[in-house]
Structure 1
């Protein structure tokens, strides 16, 4: 009998923030040095072991943008299978508690009206978040 060692797929849970302010939504452009260079995303990052999605999001937004947020509502979880790993995006509608943003990881940020979001070159996983955000907005009206 032949035995084959199969490595487990890496599953990465990534809470992210759809930050609303004055009718606009914050989009962050990934650094050229990161995976998916210069693609657009909703800010956030990997949850650490034994860290809740919410705690991870508060920490990541503080690290990436140096602001505090308030979580308003969770959107549906989406995932993107990349073969060797699966990225699970856990999006939350958020609002800023502090307004002075300092970028530490992104090339730039933009504030866009919801109808403008599709004009950017987003990561594939974030495209699903946009669809769910549009659904959220249609129900909210």
Structure 2
């Protein structure tokens, strides 16, 4: 079974937002770019803006789609679809995650990432080095 999931690389002041999964979630306490499952009839960007508002109370604008990643787990496969996003407004209020950090590019590799997010971190960093 393939589950399509979007995630947001939210940029602000030279940092990006990452979130830590709670103890009750699968892949507990690992770090990820926030996002969620695409619902029936929803576009990738509609999903992303909805999920970020629901989970973090932030308003963002997706600006660039990166390469989707397929990650296989024992009972399902996810296709993680990343977007670089512009932060517009809002104050973070965590609905599901344990905590969050605004991190510099240099610090992104210092976190224990969910397996599906690792290729996204790598691609994002390589894009930033060419800017």
For the pair 1:126 / 2:117, whether they are aligned, the reply is: yes
Distance 1:51 1:99 in 2: 23
Aligned-residue offset at 1:138:
2.4
Distance 1:12 1:114 in 2: 29
Aligned-residue offset at 1:104:
0.7
For the pair 1:32 / 2:39, whether they are aligned, the reply is: no
Higher-Rg member (1/2): 1
For the pair 1:76 / 2:77, whether they are aligned, the reply is: no
* Paired residues, number: 131
Provide TM-score, normalisation by structure 2: 0.96
Distance 1:136 1:13 in 2: 24
> Cα deviation per residue 1:2-57 (whole Å; 9 max; x = unaligned)?
xxxxxxxx111110000011000111000110100011000000001121111110
> Cα deviation per residue 1:69-102 (whole Å; 9 max; x = unaligned)?
0111111111111142111110000011114111
> C-alpha root-mean-square deviation of aligned residues, in Å?
0.9
1:51 is aligned to: 42
For the pair 1:60 / 2:60, whether they are aligned, the reply is: no
Following TM superposition, the consecutive aligned residue runs of length 4 or more in structure 1 with deviations greater than 2 angstroms are none
Aligned-residue offset at 1:135:
2.1
Distance 1:138 1:68 in 2: 27
Segments of structure 1 that go 5 or more residues without pairing to the other structure are: 1-9
Give the 3-state SS of the residue equivalent to 1:45 in structure 2: strand
For the pair 1:106 / 2:90, whether they are aligned, the reply is: no
Q: Judge which range, 78-87 or 121-130, deviates more.
A: 78-87
Higher share of residues assigned strand? 2
Find the partner of 1:18 among 5, 9, 12.
9
